[in-house]
Amino acid sequence: MIHTLPKTAACFENARAVAEYKLHAQARLDPTVWRYLSEGSEAGVTLLANERAFERARIVPRPLADVRGGHTRVNLFGQEFAHPIVLAPVAYQKLFHSDGECASAMAASAQDALMLVSSLASQTLEEIIQAAEKPLWFQLYWQGERSRTLRLAQRALAAGYSAVVLTVDAPVKQAVMQLPEDVRAVNLETPLALPLLLQGQSQVFDGWMAQAPTWADLEWLRGHIKLPLLLKGVLHPDDAARAIALGCDGLVVSNHGGRVLDGVPASLDALPGIMAAVAGRVPVLLDSGVRSGSDVFKALSQGVAAVMIGRPYIWGLATAGALGVAHVIRLMRDELEMTLALVGCTCIGDAQRIILANQGSKMGQA
Ligand code: FNR
């Protein structure tokens, strides 16, 4: 897929932090694409809150620990990964680099990372998993009704995807920028027509939301997917409990990177309530606002099994294709290892037992 070293090699090789990729990406991308990638919804309150929540959390160092032999390995549903940094599903990746999702999948594979491929991928599910050479997870958007949704999930499973993550926080299609001709959701069937509204009916309740999934649909889907099924976009503890009661195998605490309903809590702030409701019954992942290895650590310290990044790896993709994505993952992993070492942890399990400085009076290792 990557035939030559990108012309950008000189600039990105010197990048010392993920934030530098943001600058490179902004300089490279068309302003409309940059806005599509960067902006949150409305005033961007949640977008900002996500990053602020990580900034507020403080880590207490624990010097003098012998951390030789430490590692960041994680196991998710029987799959081993070298570290808990996961590539979140991001739509239309050919917008950001001509190698698209395949480049991200190659990078994930090279860095022994998990990637979730979006229902709105701009390359086929089959070619993406072939580029990865290892199982990926499939992010499922509800396709307006049950049979279309199941056809899409079954196509992914037949192609070798090893888990399905149903995203439920964006049931109504957001206004996406005008896509260029060569970029589209190639894996989807033609969209369903919206129901005709009767006099006095609401476009929202009776139009768009008539094609959104409900708890009954989730229960039905659970019955049809034999592999792990996770729910992405959970922020309320009661919803977490209900999803588990319906048989979901895991949850992703996420506000879609602040792109859907503005004013919802930062994912990190919503996490304690969810973790209490879940009580260790299923793995919980988190995304929205993770920008560094120490952010990854801060989320792990609240007990999550793994942490997803969205925009940061797309900055890498836009800058230098697969190499850029791989470098972003590697930079974050290095930062995570350094943070773990300075906090006296030798594995992810140790990090999950840490209490951060701003969480009550107890400081440091529990
Ligand atoms: C997304 N996200 C997303 N989520 C999803 O479930 N399906 C999708 O197709 C997309 N598409 C998408 C496009 C773009 C441009 C962005 C930035 C995000 C949300 C994504 O999976 C994740 O929840 C957020 O990106 C996490 O926040 P950060 O890391 O971007 O702050």
Asked about 256 being catalytic, the answer comes back as yes
pLDDT in tens, 300-334: 999 999 999 999 999 999 999 999 999 999 999 99
Amino acid at 330: R
Burial of 54 (0-12, 13-18, 19+ CB in 10 A): buried
Which ranges of the chain have pLDDT less than 70? 1-13, 173-175, 355, 357-366
Which residue's C-alpha comes closest to atom 13 of ligand 1?
90
One CATH from 3.60.21.10, 3.20.20.70, 3.40.640.10, 3.40.50.720 for 22-60+69-177+205-357: 3.20.20.70
**pLDDT score recorded for residue 6:** 47
Atom of ligand 1 nearest to the CA of 255: 23
**pLDDT score recorded for residue 149:** 98
Atom of ligand 1 nearest to the CA of 311: 30
pLDDT in tens, 249-269: 999 999 999 999 999 999 999
**pLDDT score recorded for residue 217:** 98
Mutate to test the pocket of ligand 1, among 26, 253, 256, 328 (most ligand atoms within 8 A of CB): 256
Which residue's C-alpha comes closest to atom 9 of ligand 1?
91
**pLDDT score recorded for residue 359:** 57
Output the CA 345–ligand 1 centroid distance in Å.
30
Which residue's C-alpha comes closest to atom 18 of ligand 1?
90
Q: Going by C-beta distance under 8 Å and a sequence separation of 6 or more, which residues neighbour residue 10?
A: none
**pLDDT score recorded for residue 11:** 56
Nearest Cα neighbor of 70 from 352, 353, 350, 354 is 350
